[in-house]
Structure 1
Amino acid sequence: MSTPTIGFIGAGNMATSLIGGMLQQNIKASQILASDRTAEQVERLGKQFGIRTSTDNDLLAAECDVLVLAVKPQVMQAVCRALPAERKPGQLIISIAAGISCASLENWLGAGSAIVRCMPNTPSLRRQGVSGLFANAQVSDTQKQQTEAILNAVGISLWLEREELIDAVTAVSGSGPAYFFYMMEAMTAAGEQLGLPRDTAERLTLFTALGAADMAVHSDVDAAELRRRVCSPGGTTERAINSFAEDDLPAIVARAMQAAAARAAEMTKELA
């Protein structure tokens, strides 16, 4: 599979992360373009990565095999409608904006557009991201492979069979980093209350979270079994887990994630 020419409309953090990741995966800088209405943004990207940049979205639309829409959801409609109706033949559109459906994108870009909706998350900035992907019927197998090459440069990607599952991905991994950050905040504060200096409590918390995640990712058993292995009968961990269970932690998490998924669905309607 030949490497396509890839253009980014929007030069923010996610675009920067994806471009940096692709270059580390041996995609040539000459094959990447970026456009942004802010000249300073694209100038920064050009200097940082040696890629071609512009403030003219039409240039990317005419020249790129893959067009990555990396703009805020609130401006997506205006950006799409401003693009020329005649773009490069067979062009793939990848949208990383939350709440923008394929139907809306097809309406704004033209019927028959090959579109992939992507829900990445912020650990992509550290090349540790996970992205949920949904392709409309016009996307070919080759274009799916091209999408994977872009998103896997900053982590892993998983395909979804139904577009509405993007809302579930948003609730699990899109918003998920904040849940873990919240837990880290709480554990750090509790460590302080137990008498630890704040910086000590914080480092203990952060590296415990890092180690636990690494164990879970590389283990051949699930998280429930890993938890059971730490819980010695009558020990300290068991008592803490029992306290979580008494407060019905699983139900608390489920309600929070259902709220996130419901809000994602609301945003899709609002932004249509």
Structure 2
Amino acid sequence: MTTIGILGVGGLAALMVRGLQGAGYRLILSPRNAEVAARLAAEYGCEVAADNQAVVDAADGVFVSLPAATGAEELARLTFRPEQPVLSAMAGTGLARLHSVIGPARAAVSMMPGYANALGIGPSILCPDDAFWRPFLAATGPVQVFEDEASFTTAATFGAFSGASFVWMAQAIGWYEEQGLPSATARALVAATLRGNAEVLLSEDRSLPEIQREVITPGGISELLVTTLTARQALQAWDEALTRVLHRIGG
């Protein structure tokens, strides 16, 4: 059985542990967040190591979800084996920086939304392709592989997009609630609509403009909503926000 060591036992690690159940991995957790580590050990059968070095020593591969602000410095204090696979999910820590603190280990970087991965349906991105980490990530959802780090960094903004989508959904659900719909009905309506439309994009071969022409009738209610949002520059604001995220993480 392949042993994965997890450095940084916060929210993302907890969600990944949940999503990896039944995938055949032995998981060893760092004791950094003792309460969370103990809970995961009790609920999912993980092991908790004595310290971070013990995690590295016991692991075939190491998944890093340490805080981005201090994670590289924490990794630099550890000793890795030659070519030991290390996968970082620390936003803003690129391959060069990662390799500089884990050498002679093998570096790869990733990003995932987290919550959806806990359900086995969350997308992940990986750079560069790595035969060790690809099946690990695939156990929690579809994987997109990048060999070009610049493209990976652009794609990594989807982590922020994913989180912000919950705020957008809450806004829509709140509007329906204000109009008198029960909370459960509003939530189900918004969620099912978005899930259905996502399946259209994943299943249909037609281009997005073709789909839009079919679902947005000239003079219809969808066009009214889109033109109102466009006039308020609400759609353009998404571009600005994603660009700011890209700059934050190093693009």
Aligned to 1:116: 108
Q: Indicate how the Cα distance of structure 1 residues 183 and 39 shifts in structure 2: closer, same or farther if over 3 A, else same.
A: closer
Contact 1:21 1:127 in 2 (8 A): yes
Instruction: Give, as a single letter, the amino acid of the residue that structure 1 aligns with 2:148.
Output: R
Q: Indicate how the Cα distance of structure 1 residues 100 and 240 shifts in structure 2: closer, same or farther if over 3 A, else same.
A: same
Instruction: Give, as a single letter, the amino acid of the residue that structure 2 aligns with 1:167.
Output: T
If each structure's helix is expressed as a fraction of its own residues, which one has the higher value? Answer: 1
**What's the C-alpha RMSD, in Å, of the aligned pairs?**
2.5
Which sections of structure 2, spanning at least 5 residues, go unmatched?
none
Matched, 1:164 2:154: no
Contact 2:19 2:118 in 1 (8 A): no
Distance, in Å, in 2 between the alignment partners of 1:90 and 1:167 is 24
Contact 1:64 1:88 in 2 (8 A): no
Counterparts of residues 28-39 of structure 1 (less than 5 Å)? 28=25, 31-39=26-34
Aligned to 1:5: 3
Contact 2:82 2:106 in 1 (8 A): no
Q: Of 209, 212, 224, which aligns to 2:209?
A: 224
Q: Deviations over 1:104-159 (max 9, x none)?
A: 2222223x431001111133233222222113xxxxx7xx1221111111111111
**Greater RCO, 1 or 2 (C-alpha within 8 Å, sep 6+):** 1
Contact 1:34 1:52 in 2 (8 A): yes
Report the Cα offset of residue 197 of structure 1: 3.2
Report the Cα offset of residue 74 of structure 1: 1.9
Percent of residue pairs bearing the same amino acid type: 22
Q: Of 87, 95, 103, which aligns to 1:102?
A: 95
Matched, 1:145 2:131: yes
Contact 1:34 1:53 in 2 (8 A): yes
Distance, in Å, in 1 between the alignment partners of 2:233 and 2:95 is 37
Instruction: Give, as a single letter, the amino acid of the residue that structure 2 aligns with 1:162.
Output: D
Q: Residue 143 of structure 2: SS of its match in structure 1?
A: strand
Q: Indicate how the Cα distance of structure 1 residues 65 and 42 shifts in structure 2: closer, same or farther if over 3 A, else same.
A: same
Q: Deviations over 1:12-50 (max 9, x none)?
A: 23222323333322x14xx32222223333222222222
Which sections of structure 1, spanning at least 5 residues, go unmatched?
136-140, 267-272
Counterparts of residues 112-261 of structure 1 (less than 5 Å)? 112-122=104-114, 123-135=116-128, 144-171=130-157, 173-192=158-177, 195-197=179-181, 199=183, 200-248=185-233, 250-261=235-246
Aligned to 1:269: none
Aligned to 2:35: 40
Distance, in Å, in 1 between the alignment partners of 2:36 and 2:86 is 22
Report the Cα offset of residue 99 of structure 1: 0.9
Distance, in Å, in 1 between the alignment partners of 2:140 and 2:193 is 23
Q: Residue 9 of structure 2: SS of its match in structure 1?
A: coil
Matched, 1:17 2:15: yes
Q: Deviations over 1:232-255 (max 9, x none)?
A: 343222332333344455533222
Q: TM-score, normalised by structure 2?
A: 0.86
Instruction: Give, as a single letter, the amino acid of the residue that structure 1 aligns with 2:249.
Output: A
Aligned to 1:90: 83
